[in-house]
Every structure is written in C-alpha cells, then in structure tokens.
A and B are shown apart, each in its own frame.
Chain A
Amino acid sequence: MIAGSIHTCIVCNGVISFRSPNNNLVVCPFCQTRLYKTEYNELKARIDISRATIMYGIIQVGTKGKYAGNSFEITGGIKYLFDETLLNCWTMLFANGGTKILAELLGTYAVLEKIDLAPGINFSKLKQLGFDGKTITLSDDKSYALERISYCKDAEAVGETWIFSTDTNITLFELATLERERLFAFRIKEDLGVYFKAAYKEKDDFNFQNPRQPKWEDYYKEVNCPKCSFRIQLKSYPLTKSFSCGKCGARVSYEQGKPEKEVSGSKSGYIEIPLGSKGFIRDAEYEVIGYAKKRDKDGYSWKEYTLFNPEFGYSFLSEYEGNWIFLSEQPNAPVLYTSSQGELVIDGESFALFNKYDYKLLETAGEFPENIFDDRGVAVNEYISPPEIWIREKENANGVAWFKGVHIEGKELENAFGSDKVVLPAKYGIGAVQPVWGYVNPSLLFTAVLVTLAVFLGAQIIMNNLSAKNVVYESNIILPDSTNIPPIVSPTFELKKWKSNLEISLHAPVNNSWFEANITVVNTVTGKEYTIEKRVEYYTGYDSDGYWSEGSNKDEVIISSIPAGKYYLQIFPAKQLNSNIDYFYITVTSDVPMWRNFFIITLLMLLIPAGWWYYMRTVEVRRWSNSPFSTYVNWSSDDE
C-alpha cells in the first residue's frame, strides 16, 4: 500500500487528504475549492475547473468494483466538456495503491493507460491527415488513422483525482490502428501531448458496487427559443447539441454551451412515434426526444428517431418503407483506412458495403446529440450482415462516428410504445438488414454440404464393408435344345438377417440372341413370393459406321428387403428360338451393397440446400435491389 498525504485547504484551512500520491487534484470537501497539487507538493486553486454537481452515468465517488481481478474504488473524476460531447475521466484507486483512469460516458467504458511517446506527436501534421484513412506511424511503430477530434471547452471535478493538464483548453485526438488498438492523444498546447492507450470494456467487466442511479430529471433543462422565446424543455442536457423549436420551428444549435445559433425552419409533419413516447426496447426504457427526416441525392428519404435513456444515453430508430433499424453509437468500432472499402470483417463476421451516400435534412422536431442542422459534407457508409448493420458517418469537423444497428420489427416497437399510441407505417419490401428465416451465409452452407457429402460417402463405405455379401445359391444350369424348358427349383437356403436384399446375377452365352428367366423367391413357411424377370441379350453387327454391339451376356437384379427365413428359387428359363444357348449361370447373393441408394438419397438431400440457396438468393436479390453495390444478377430481370 502506498501512503497518501495530508494537506490544508488554502482557502478554508480544512484538512485534506490525498489517498494516492498519483492524484493531484482534489475538491475541498468543506469549501468546494478545486485544489491542484504541484510537483513541489504545494496546493493551488484551479479556478478554471468547476465543481461538478452531477457527473451523469452510473459511476460516482465511492463506487467500487473489480477490474482484471483487482479491486478498486473510484476516488474522484473530471468531466471534460467537449464541443460535441462530454467525457468523464474517473480515477480508479486499486488496493495495491496503483491508479488508472476509467473514461466513461453513458454506458461506454474505456480504461486509459498512460504511455510515453518519444518523440511526441506533431499535432498540426496529425490534423492534416483528415479522416479518410491516411495514417501516421508513431514511435511504437504502429500506423494510426485519425478517427475523431474533440475540443474541450470546460472541465468539472469531483472528489480526488488526477489531472494531466494545467489548462482545460485541450484537444482530444482519437487514433486507431486497423487492429482496433486505440490511442487517446490529448494536446495540451502546441506539440505537447499526453497519451493513453484506450481499452474499451463492457460494464460487466467492472462488477460495479455502489453505483449511482441515473434519473431522467438529471438531464432536464428549460431553455427559451432564441427566435420566439417559446419555453422548451430539453430532455438530454447537457448532451443536447441542437434542437427544433416546437412552436416556430426554428433550428437552434449550441455554440460554446449556449443556444445561440438559429436558422429558420419549418415545423415537422406527422410523426408516427410522437416525441415524449416512452417504451422498453431490448431491455432498456427509452424516451423519444428527437425526430428527423432525411433524403439522399437519389431521392430516397427515411426517418430517424432519437431515443434517450439516462443510463445508456442515445439510441436511434431508423425507418425506411416500414422497415426499422435500432441503432446506437459504438466507440469500439471498426477502423477503415479507406472509405471505399467494400467489406468489413468484425470478429470473424463479414459485413458488405450496402450503401454510400450523403444526405439533406428535410424536417426535424425535438433535440439531437449533434448539430444535426449542419448536414454539409456528412458522408455515410453502410455495411450489412443481416440482421446487423454498421454505419460510418464522417463529418469534416470532428471525424468519424460508428453506429451499430440491428433490424427490429415494427410490431415490437408498437408493443414497446403502445399500439394505442403509435400507428407505424406499412411495411414494404425487404429491409436492409431484415433477417430471412433460415438464412445462412451461402459459403457456410456450401461448406456444410461438402461436409455432409463426406459423411454420407463415409457412411456408405462403412455400410458396404459391413455387408455380408453371402452367396446363398449358385449353379451352372444346362439347357435343353428345346425351347420348352421345364422350371428349375433350387435347394432351400436361409436368410438370417432381419431384412436383407438378394442380388440375382444371370450369365448366358448369348450372341445375337436373348435369354431370360422368370425367377420367384418363395418363403418355405409363409409362401410369400418375390418375383422378378430378367433378360440378358447381346447383339453385334456392322453398319455404315462400322462394328457395333449392344447389350451384355450377363446382368443382375436386386430384390429388396426380404425378411429373414428359409427360401427357395423357382426358375422359369426361356431362350430365343433357334439360338444355341446351352446353359446359363445363376448366382444369388444376399446382403449386397447398393451404391444406387447412396446416389439417390444424396441427390434428394442436395435438393434441400439447393432450394434453400435459391430461396435465400431470391430474397437477397430483392434486398440488394436498393443498393448500388449489389453483386447479384437479377435473373428475372434478364429474362424480361
């Protein structure tokens, strides 16, 4: 255990203790002064940092948990207020005295580990990279793409924590490698930076104890419309970055934390899920706080609903022709080095580029977590693997944001918001990520078919080897010259297996003649009979094409599924008149292999995946008819 230190507040003389020597900022519990501990162990007031009255989310000072097997306690934190969002950086004090930073924002968590980069980053050069996949190689020999830039305007503190800057006017550059290793680079000034490896985690990775219970009211704030002074209650403040006035339709965006910028707008039309509707979607309760209708350059228009939950923050519902997608922003997102990439592979799953567009805003209502009214230059890529979708939105000012979505049925939304309160539009066509019943990836199905064929072949070979192939009767039978041949009766033979087949093989010295036999297998006890008729014939000759031959002097026939018992054969031979066939040879074998079964049953089995594949393909052709990146050839269109 590393000992802390005790100090006296320079304002109220109250006794202040630092539990960890790593921490350098504390909010005096008596007078609330923000006190900064210098490298000389002296306290100075930080008037640029406010006292946080509320930190939102589920973490608070005193929250305990376990990370990577080590217990920790939250001693304090700093809330950085960026232009587009906010970020809580909590100090985790571990039982062994070590500290880490837990970056947290409404359901997303990342553990930050400070690293040294020497030389540091040339931020001016870094900024010039843009967000189109150009990379920079840092001193750790890894190539990073710039993902986002966020400008901090203010900071608030609570408890005892660590701050890496003497100034709150800092900039956060988020960088990532193709392998999704992430680097948070905070620019303090010029080219002076502090660098952290960021590892995104799930809430369950921390096993939080004593969490805070977020309330809807935490985010309520009343503001006046700067155009008509109408009183508006925001539902997600301070995360709200723009809103539409419900009275005059004015479009208001926040600048420097104040609703100052305003442009004229018109009120929206009918909204299928009214603002203020609350409902449970996938185990969390959301309130509809925003609505927007957008249109791309090809004329397709769709609607987006902004949802808010006090613990998980924003989610979105996107609706196109009655097909719905439930989306939320994902910080631990894929990394693209090129925006024209046609495929994403995430955790082994392939997502295909489905659409790429920019859009115009048509109408809005309510509030939004971004300046939705600035729709200039927002480039969107959509990658699908039904029922999931990844959407990449790139805007020139702040960079890239990724949203992960999943298809959701309109019926589920009606149940969530109340079928008596919402009337959802009728559904048309196949949704972009609408799951198809029984859908499997065609390559996976093909692999499964190959494996199945191998199993069938193996089973057939094993069964063939297990066949007894027991010759129960064989005889070379001399035929009289006459065509009036008496019937022949064989000795009795026994079939011991529960059920088995009998292969009867005939051989006769036919030459431009035929021989046939009507053979009856008779059960000596029950009298049950199995009759077959078999002919062997063989012809040769010459014609204009030369020598030809047809037929064979031997043939066989199988009698199927004969029960166990004692049997004999009754043979009625016949031969062509005036032929010189003077004998025939008969062999009767029980329990013989039958490849025919393998081919017939395997072929029938293959019809199932073939039909399955055709059905899936038909659906996919319809799905991809809305995409400019479809690789499907529409056979029915070709026919027309």
Chain B
Amino acid sequence: MMNKNNVFYKLRLFIFIAAIFLGWLVYANYTGWRVFSFGSNNAWSSRGPGYHK
C-alpha cells in the first residue's frame, strides 16, 4: 500500500490521465492518425457509391 504522503499517490489521478494522453499521442503517431483532422481525408469503400475500377 503506497504511503498517502507519497507524491506519486497524491498525483495518481493526474498520472493516470497523463498516461492516457501519452498513449493517445504514441498511438496517433504510430498509426499516422492526424488527430482532429476533418474534411481533408475523405475515404470511402469500394462497396459504396465511389467505386473505382
């Protein structure tokens, strides 16, 4: 059980949140995901109306 005076304990919530954001950053960079990018990247499936032979 971590001591409640331990700084990591006090910051556990922040560390958790920061870890999630860090994970998001790493995932986005790794997969080439341009976050919050709308409209410049239209993709559609060949099953839909824009099928290209």
Instruction: Give me the interface of A with B, judged by CB distance under 8 Å.
Output: 349, 438, 440-441, 444-445, 448, 452, 455-456, 459-460, 463-464, 467, 497-502, 520, 522-523, 526-532, 557-562, 570, 590-594, 596-598, 600-602, 604-605, 608-609, 612
Contacts and interface: CB of A to CB of B under 8 A. Distances in A.
A594 B36 CA distance: 12
A448 B41 contact: no
Contacts of A464: 29
A597 B14 contact: no
Contacts of B45: 526-528
B41 A498 contact: no
Contacts of B11: 440, 444-445, 448
Contacts of B46: 523, 526-529
Contacts of B7: 444
Nearest to B7: A444
A608 B11 CA distance: 13
Contacts of B22: 452, 455-456, 459
Contacts of A612: 14
B41 A559 contact: yes
Contacts of B40: 532, 557-559
A459 B26 contact: yes
Nearest to A560: B34
Interface string B1-24: 000010100110111011001101
A309 to B, nearest CB: 24
Q: Which of under 10, 10 to 19, 20 to 34, or 35 or more describes the interface residues of B? A: 35 or more
A579 to B, nearest CB: 25
B13 A456 contact: no
Contact of A445 (B14, B24, B30): B14
Interface string B35-53: 1110011111110001111
A349 B3 CA distance: 14
Interface of B: 5, 7, 10-11, 13-15, 17-18, 21-22, 24-26, 28-37, 40-46, 50-53
Q: Is the interface of B mostly helix, strand, loop or mixed?
A: mixed
Contact of B31 (A455, A500, A557, A601): A500
B42 A530 contact: yes
Contacts of A497: 32
Given A445-B11, A532-B42, A605 B32 contact: no
Given A444-B10, A456-B22, A601-B21, A594 B29 contact: yes
A598 to B, nearest CB: 7
Contacts of A597: 25, 28-29, 33-35
A562 B32 contact: yes
Given A532-B42, A605-B17, A608-B17, A560 B32 contact: yes
Nearest to A590: B32
Nearest to B44: A529
Interface-central residue, B25, B36, B44, by most chain A CB under 10 Å? B25
A460 B21 contact: no
Contacts of A608: 14, 17-18, 21
B50 to A, nearest CB: 6
B43 A530 contact: yes
Contacts of A523: 46
Contact of A522 (B10, B26, B52): B52
* Interface pairs A-B: 9 shortest CB-CB: A527-B46, A501-B32, A560-B34, A499-B31, A605-B21, A463-B29, A500-B32, A530-B43, A601-B25
B51 A527 contact: yes
B34 A558 contact: yes
Contacts of A527: 45-46, 51-53
A520 B42 CA distance: 9
Nearest to B29: A463
A528 B46 CA distance: 5
B4 to A, nearest CB: 10
A501 B34 contact: yes
Contacts of B18: 448, 452, 455, 605, 608
B31 A594 contact: no
Contact of A594 (B5, B34, B43, B50): B34
A445 B12 CA distance: 11
